[in-house]
Structure 1
Amino acid sequence: MLDTAAVADTFTAIQHNVERAIEGKSDVVRLALLTLLSEGHVLLEDVPGVGKTLLAKALGRSINCSVKRVQFTPDLLPSDITGVTIYNQEQGVFEFKPGAVFANIVLGDEINRAGPKTQSALLESMEERQVTTDGRTYELASPFMVIATQNPIELDGTYPLPEAQRDRFMTRLRIGYPSADAEVEVLRNHGAGNPVDTLEPVTTTHEVNALIDACKHVQVAESLERYVVDIVRATREHELIDLGASPRAGLGIMRGARALAATHGREYVIADDIKDLADPVLAHRLVLGPDAELAGRTESEIVADVVTRVPVPRGRR
């Protein structure tokens, strides 16, 4: 098992390498990497052309792992994602042909453009990290992360993700437009070619799995476990929320807080780790009531309100 200092060093090396292709978005890159170390999945909701696909490719290059992209369309079949069993006439046997989900990083582009049946094909693989077809179960690669993208402005012909599937994503991230200086760097670095093609791996999948294992051993005080539960339960009791966060959300915060502490070289979680992850982990899981919509309140604003209301425990014990 690696110590937290080694985790921090490797995490920083991966982040800096990815940022060679994604200019001016350190927070987004950091949260995506934290999600990977927490064995979670990322939902990217943003307008076209801000680097959603580039992020997945740069991350895959940096850790020298397999990356597969699936363009979700209305005619996409579940078997296109999970795989299909076909009959080999030459050998006289049935063979399983793996689908796109058999990779370390799976990029599901515009996931809301496929039908509900195809969307749900990802559920088992995201949660159980396996695919079952024709009575046989196939284990997926490790590490494994799904990065699904959605375009929030073109909703014609789309199928909104149901709450059950949104809950499978540990974090929701928005890249946003770059600053003026960062956009100049984009023109300078991307104008002559794709910078991802020049990226060299800085680690391996074996070492990433070791980082994931190290994060699991970060200590969490009982008072901070209670703090996570109090925040999650407060979303269920908030007057502007019709549906609050699930227990899975609390697990996501805890796993992310462990990873965040390790990447800072600490062997223990502090309250600020939990606060930093509250919005990306909780906001997309909430269903706002009509009063919130009339008042123009967003999920992120309500999460910030919840975090402000819940008392912070004192001390580490």
Structure 2
Amino acid sequence: MSAVLEAPARGPRQVVRSYVALTKPRVIELLLVTTIPAMLLAKHGLPPLWLIACTLTGGTLAAASANSLNCFVDADIDAVMKRTKARPLASHEVTPRNALIFGIALGVMSFGFLWITTNLLAAGLAVATILFYIFVYTLVLKRRTSQNIVWGGAAGCMPVVIGWSTVTGSVQWPAFVMFAVIFFWTPPHTWALAMKFKDDYARAGVPMLPVVATAAQVGRQIVIYSWLTVAATLALAPATSWIYPAVAALAGVWFLVFAHRLHAAMRSGENTNTMKFFHLSNSYLSLVFVALAVDAVIGLPVLGWPF
């Protein structure tokens, strides 16, 4: 009689760690980087700390919901990609049924929490973001087009809009400009990562741009979207003092220099470290939004205030 091998029992701490991993905590960091500056700019000062805390909590729940549901839908491709095969569903640490229930529950909690503590507009925007990320990006775009991250990345732009709406109860032009900053920033940031893992994406059947285009073509697109990103950051100048435009302009030059260097290297066929640009783009976005936060608190707007 052969022995039956059973998976070792998992303690409560391991179970919690698996469910936390479903939410992709590192992805949620973008929420913290962009939401608070958006709220500060909307208030042109410091909003009540309880409002900031509630907005971040509700937004974190929404992002956790979207990421958990994304893991549920993408479990099959996560299992064949080296970068993602350790995720809880791919490694069978969490069952698909439990992941689905967990993701839906987080979404419901996000809506209820934001509605009660902030306003219905913010709650509705959070739910719309979850639905867009799952049904438009994950289920439709991701596996069908190389432009998946261009349009699907719109979900990652919504924290600034939600943050603005919790302060003002509306959505005004600076919120749309901040949305544009992240919208244009997302493709070059993501394509730099995808260049490193393009074999993974190809094996999983995901047509990321680096899978279907040459390195030179990807580099050209990175440059184009990097220029659009910098232009969008400068479009916020009428809502700020001199502090933010000065930092945004200097940071933009730094960002563009590296984008052009990366393109030149990719065009010439050199062995390029695209992850350097990936990490640099994170630093660039953080610097721009930190400058926006500082300006909103201590600067005086040049034009266009109040909105």
| Structure with more of its chain in strand, by fraction | 1
Relative contact order (alpha carbons < 8 A, sep ≥ 6): 1 or 2 greater? 1
State TM-score, norm by structure 1.
Answer: 0.30
| Structure with more of its chain in helix, by fraction | 2
